[in-house]
Structure 1
Amino acid sequence: MLSIQNLTLRRGAKILLEGASLSAHVGDRIGLVGNNGTGKSSLLAAIRGEAPIDAGGIELPRSWRLVSVAQETPGLPDPAVDFVLQGDPQLWQLLHESRSATDEARIAALQIELQDADAYTARPRAERLLAGLGFKQSELGQSVASFSGGWRMRLNLARALMAPSEMLLLDEPTNHLDLDAIIWLERWLSQYPGLAIIISHDREFLDAAVKSIVHIEHARLNRYGGTYSMFEAARAERMSQQQAAYSRQQLHVAKLERFVERFKAKASKAKQAQSRVKMLERMERIAPVLAANPVAFEFEPPERTPDILLELDGVDCGYADKTILHGVRLTVRGGSRIGLLGMNGAGKSTLIKTIAREIAPLSGDLRPSKWLQIGYFAQHQLDMLDPEGSPLSHMRRLDPQAREQSLRDHLGTFHFRGEMVLATVGAFSGGEKARLALALIVYRRPNLLLLDEPTNHLDLETREALTAALAEYEGTLILVSHDRHLLRATADELWLVDGGRVVAFDGDLDEYRTWLTSERKATDERRSSAESAAPVSRADPREERRLAAQERTRLAELRKPLAARAARLERKMDEIQTRLTELNQRLADPGLYETADGAVIAQLTQDQAFTARELEQVESEWLQVQADMEAIQ
């Protein structure tokens, strides 16, 4: 069990947590939420033992293996699949030693250790993790150094998921993932047997991935059962009840204070007045619900929106050495609200860049309206901001002739006010930089907004503000986002980018999820067929028999370690079942409750619960081994 007791965390003079407590068990999946700066990442660092604790304590069982995702990945020469396998250090050490061992006794011992570590299924497991996170089969042997920063973060995530663990800490795991990888991760987490604590600003991901929510508010950890949507409803109800109770108490306090003020100097009422003073002193005051100041902004309507903003006629999109999309034929009409769907690498960003005229069409006609005014938010838009500049200096570069007050008013609608308009952008958080980038993009009142993953650095409150602003935006919108809540709320039609083509998708996001699942299954089946296919000479029956015998031997060798492990697990289940039966019998004996004290009975009850849970875990392992054996069969 994870036990956090009366925890206090400070960062400088700021108190992040004070007297906070939380208990969590194996099997819990917790979403950790709260405004930016409330201490979510600091809490995970404290659990990992990487951040100082000012008071209180955090306790974990010594046997627990704790895993989190590294934030940096050096440019290593290791192949991607080997990098992921190294996530299990014990397994990797055994594999490395088995390649060089020469002592026969050590080789025999290594075989047993490799079987216990599931070494014979390790590489396929690593490959499945990488495939789920969007890596192609041809990329598994590429060096880590050959991948970009975002893809290295995916490698870090796969490496963490490869590691055996009782506790998994994930801090914004979806930031570098596209929608199909997020859906895969949701399924993976639903089968994770340990304790998972997940920080995320993706509400639909939280709804699918967690069983409870821990909300950091007023330096405390408040736990709510259920999904993020259920948490929102429960919190709103609690706040409503608290405000009603506060209002009732304030009326009561005012009544008591009026009585005291009226009669404190009157001798006949002095005793009653003093009684009410003491009542006020003893009263446990209910805190008011502080009026939140949620982020909210709006996009001004375009000055002009023609019926047809843009036409693509037989356009090939891509780069000089590679065509990504072929023969694209699209008409973008005024007022359209389009969400782009497609697997990673399908060409969604390439299409956006072509429409934004960041890259030129390789062929075909791209015909913009003369009234077309584009606002383009790229995936790496934040890198284009001047870290030494201020929000106001960025606005001045955009419109040197504008009055300063006019620029300040515009920045104010994006919550840059007072001294913040003169602050250095390099010190801003990712969310603040994203808000500034949006403020710059919409200043010219574009009639076509092109947004490529605009929510990557936004917290839940700012995402909600962006969703509301886009829902009311009167121009035309083309959006790429892995945030399904944003897509559902703002897109009226969906385009699918797949197989080098762009077509209308006749369905909603739930149907797209089903399509993704079927596509992944088909891809897995094609990969399995390709791996198992072997050239067989039908003209030579002896060769066929030889190959068949060879395949039977290979399968038998694969099954052998799994069969040995299944036998060991069966023996272990028998031992645990014997212990559990004995405990059940002792607790069922009426005489126990007549002779034993409460501490003994409590210990037996605890032993019974732990033994039952241990049996359940071993049975789960045994079932997985049986499934692996059946798969080999």
Structure 2
Amino acid sequence: MLQLSGAGKRFGHKLLFEGADWLITAGEKTALVGANGTGKSTLMKVLAGVDGLDYGSIQRTRGMTIGYLPQDGLALSGRTVFDECLSVFAELIAMEKELEALYTALAELDPESPEYATAADRFSHIDSQFHAHDAYALDAQVGTVLTGLGFSKNDWTRRTEEFSGGWQMRIALAKLLLQKPSLLLLDEPTNHLDLETRNWLETYLKTYPNGYILISHDRYFLDVTVDKIVEIWNKRLHVYHGNYEKYLSQKADRMAQLQSAYKNQRDQIEHLEAFITRFRYQATKAKQVQSRIKELDKIERIEIPEEEPAIHFSFPQPPPSGRTVVECSNLSKSYGPKNVLENANFTIERGDRIALVGVNGAGKSTLVRLLSGEDTPTSGVLKLGHNVIADYFAQDQYKVLDPEARMLDDISRTAPKVSETELRSLLGCFLFSGDDAFKRLGVLSGGERNRYALARILVSPANFLLLDEPTNHLDLRAKDVLLNAINKFTGTVIFVSHDRYFIDRLATRVFEVADGKVHVFPGNYEDFLWRKEGGAETLQAATMAAAAPVAVPVVPVATNGASSNGSAEKDKARKVNPIKLKQMQERLSVVEVEMPQIETAIAETETALGNFVSVEETARLSKVLEGLREMHTSLTGEWEELMVQLEEA
């Protein structure tokens, strides 16, 4: 469908890539990855035809269509949101108008006339094309995509120019999805999407009928949407088959092979050079020396490019807080007539990692501001625990920074006990390398200042961190640094994020903010979705059905009036039906065999959970472990009941 041959591109004096060969086939679902500055977005522009190559060639199949979504910079105006999306069907709308005109003409023309036959043929031809494109359901298609991307019905009739840049990008994405081009090129499509909208886009792309190429810093998003990875590395394109997780594994194997090949080649070169040096001036060895020199010249040297140094950063650990960090009772917040939160009740314990989820506008940021003290509740009680020190990272945190301060000086004042080397390494991880560390904060863009503000919080954290969208503007490497630092942090964290991988690896509980309420769920986001979809109830019902104890009715025994209550009970127990007694004994034997088997399975599952393989596998094992524990509890209760009944019998 599209082919690069010997492709090369420069950015000023810097060579981004060269000798790139890439055959893009129909239906290919690919992620384009690489370190910052390697040329991913530039290559995407080349594929879209927005930019050209400096070397090599690009060939496109005749008739193919390409849809390109840049990271930002799009501005739409002049139409309502709905009409803007409908505009992608201009050709079909023109067909519809022609069909109406032909229908009118056919009603007026003489059925025996040649004009009628021509009009009828034209009507039949256009009508078949119209049906083939499902054009009778254009409004429904537009409505489905707009709803999936988070637009309410009230938004459909608003003018596009009324929306902010992020929502403008959503409109542009909606138009591309409705167009269904042969090849869809999406550069950071999840940047402007909340978690629920990302989930919808993942599902949409899984069933997308044509091919697409993605650039994204959302690891989970890549894992579930692509089956091929193309990496720009060492100024070349390298192809890996599978999703992002498999790419990481394959790349590690490839690097190990490259290191081994490099070592073997170095050994060979050193051996040849040693021979040449030793016998260079001996006439009897001249022929062998010349042979070794020629052999040495023919060797194509293996080069191992410098990898970005791994950054390992740990929070300076804060003073401990009390066990209870926050207690909220009947917490409510209103803005005028609008109730954002109403009678919310929850407790946050020391060491919790709580993810706040919910649709845009549900009140997540409001709840974070209330917990941080930036806002006050309308009613209810919000009580901080003993020795709790809160620190709040807002979406627009950059607004509180001193624009005249130099970056390195400012962060050094914040963390006087951290060395300059460590600080510069941390800044480099957040994409501030080299002389960037000496820039004044006022010259940075909003996204850059937010990145810096997050790095600044890391070096001197409080014991209760409230992070509102900390993963915005971060690449995969910076997210990993942040994730590892928080996982080692001994304090308490409550955060809002739209990155599924980040939430799954960090959250120990999920608070869903919806309809003014705060709903508490144990576990990470995968557990939250599973419970929301009824997984917990289904598993509990299945477990109870599988482990249900055998009903053992007791046959009543007649007693005479002189017998005491105690002797009557003994007579009743002694005269249990022997068949039922045998059934109880057999069931007890089965339970006593099953219980140690389940205990072994629990231990094995807990061990497997300790070795991370993937988000999906962790979620699956967590569900299995929960089911095993519930089954063990049920069997223990049944065993105790059977023992009591048998003793009485």
| Structure 2 residue 53 is matched with structure 1 residue 53 | yes
User: 1:122: Cα distance to partner?
Assistant: 0.7
387, 392, 398: which one aligns with 1:371? 387
User: 1:406: Cα distance to partner?
Assistant: 6.2
Partner of 1:346: 362
**Separation in 2 of the partners of 1:239 and 1:285?**
16
Q: 5 Å matches for 1:197-596? A: 197-288=213-304, 290-369=306-385, 371-382=387-398, 390-392=406-408, 394-395=410-411, 410-415=423-428, 419-425=435-441, 433-506=449-522, 508-514=524-530
Q: Which letter maps to 2:378?
A: L
User: 1:160: Cα distance to partner?
Assistant: 1.2
Contact persistence 1:210–1:227 (CA under 8 A): yes
| Structure 2 residue 66 is matched with structure 1 residue 66 | yes
**Separation in 2 of the partners of 1:426 and 1:495?**
36
Deviations 1:495-531 (A, max 9, x none): 2222221121145433434566789xxxxxxxxxxxx
**Separation in 1 of the partners of 2:149 and 2:259?**
45
Q: Which letter maps to 1:421?
A: A
Distance 1:46 1:227, change over 3 A: same
**Separation in 2 of the partners of 1:8 and 1:95?**
45
Determine helix, strand or coil for the equivalent of 2:472. coil
User: 1:162: Cα distance to partner?
Assistant: 0.8
Deviations 1:238-289 (A, max 9, x none): 0001101111221221122112111112222232222222211111222235
Deviates more, 1:477-486 or 1:301-310: 301-310
Q: Which letter maps to 1:261?
A: T
**Separation in 2 of the partners of 1:97 and 1:36?**
50
Distance 1:255 1:467, change over 3 A: same
Distance 1:30 1:474, change over 3 A: same
Partner of 2:80: 79
Distance 1:237 1:330, change over 3 A: same
Contact persistence 1:186–1:209 (CA under 8 A): yes
147, 156, 160: which one aligns with 1:140? 156
Distance 1:289 1:406, change over 3 A: closer
Distance 1:157 1:55, change over 3 A: same
Deviations 1:20-40 (A, max 9, x none): 110011111001111111111
**Separation in 1 of the partners of 2:531 and 2:66?**
35
Deviations 1:566-601 (A, max 9, x none): xxxxxxxxxxxxxxxxxxxxxxxxxxxxxxxxxxxx
Contact persistence 2:504–2:526 (CA under 8 A): no
**Separation in 2 of the partners of 1:291 and 1:420?**
20
Partner of 1:156: 172
Partner of 2:29: 29
Determine helix, strand or coil for the equivalent of 1:277. helix
Determine helix, strand or coil for the equivalent of 1:414. helix
Distance 1:164 1:444, change over 3 A: closer
How many residues are aligned here? 516
Determine helix, strand or coil for the equivalent of 2:67. strand
Deviations 1:58-80 (A, max 9, x none): 11123111112263454635332
Partner of 1:542: none
Partner of 1:41: 41
**Separation in 1 of the partners of 2:378 and 2:321?**
28
Determine helix, strand or coil for the equivalent of 1:208. helix
Determine helix, strand or coil for the equivalent of 2:252. helix
Distance 1:21 1:368, change over 3 A: same
Deviates more, 1:119-128 or 1:269-278: 269-278
**Separation in 2 of the partners of 1:507 and 1:469?**
20
Deviations 1:424-478 (A, max 9, x none): 4576688754441112223442111112222221111221121111111121111
Contact persistence 2:321–2:386 (CA under 8 A): no
**Separation in 2 of the partners of 1:320 and 1:153?**
31
Determine helix, strand or coil for the equivalent of 2:237. strand
Q: Which letter maps to 2:28?
A: D
Contact persistence 2:234–2:305 (CA under 8 A): no
Q: 5 Å matches for 1:603-618? A: none
Deviations 1:9-51 (A, max 9, x none): 1111111111111001111100111111111111111112211
Q: Which letter maps to 2:77?
A: L
Contact persistence 1:171–1:198 (CA under 8 A): yes
User: 1:97: Cα distance to partner?
Assistant: 7.8
Name which one, 1 or 2, has greater alpha-carbon Rg: 2
**Separation in 2 of the partners of 1:237 and 1:472?**
28
Contact persistence 1:395–1:407 (CA under 8 A): no
Determine helix, strand or coil for the equivalent of 1:239. helix
Deviates more, 1:315-324 or 1:73-82: 73-82
Contact persistence 1:88–1:164 (CA under 8 A): no
Aligned-residue sequence identity (percent) comes to 36
Q: Which letter maps to 1:221?
A: L
**Separation in 2 of the partners of 1:237 and 1:383?**
45
Deviates more, 1:122-131 or 1:281-290: 281-290
**Separation in 1 of the partners of 2:385 and 2:78?**
49
Deviations 1:538-579 (A, max 9, x none): xxxxxxxxxxxxxxxxxxxxxxxxxxxxxxxxxxxxxxxxxx
**Separation in 1 of the partners of 2:50 and 2:403?**
29
Q: Which letter maps to 1:9?
A: K
Distance 1:380 1:161, change over 3 A: farther
Q: Which letter maps to 1:473?
A: F
| Structure 2 residue 21 is matched with structure 1 residue 5 | no
Q: 5 Å matches for 1:101-120? A: 104=105, 109=123, 114-120=130-136
Determine helix, strand or coil for the equivalent of 1:177. coil
Contact persistence 1:239–1:289 (CA under 8 A): no
Determine helix, strand or coil for the equivalent of 1:87. helix
Contact persistence 1:8–1:53 (CA under 8 A): yes
Distance 1:274 1:234, change over 3 A: same
Contact persistence 2:466–2:495 (CA under 8 A): yes
**Separation in 1 of the partners of 2:297 and 2:395?**
57
Q: Which letter maps to 1:4?
A: L
Give the root-mean-square deviation of aligned CA atoms: 3.1
User: 1:199: Cα distance to partner?
Assistant: 0.5
**Separation in 2 of the partners of 1:427 and 1:100?**
60
Determine helix, strand or coil for the equivalent of 1:88. helix
**Separation in 2 of the partners of 1:97 and 1:385?**
60
Distance 1:508 1:473, change over 3 A: closer
Distance 1:433 1:375, change over 3 A: same
Partner of 2:92: 91
User: 1:191: Cα distance to partner?
Assistant: 1.3
Q: Which letter maps to 1:91?
A: L
Deviates more, 1:365-374 or 1:37-46: 365-374
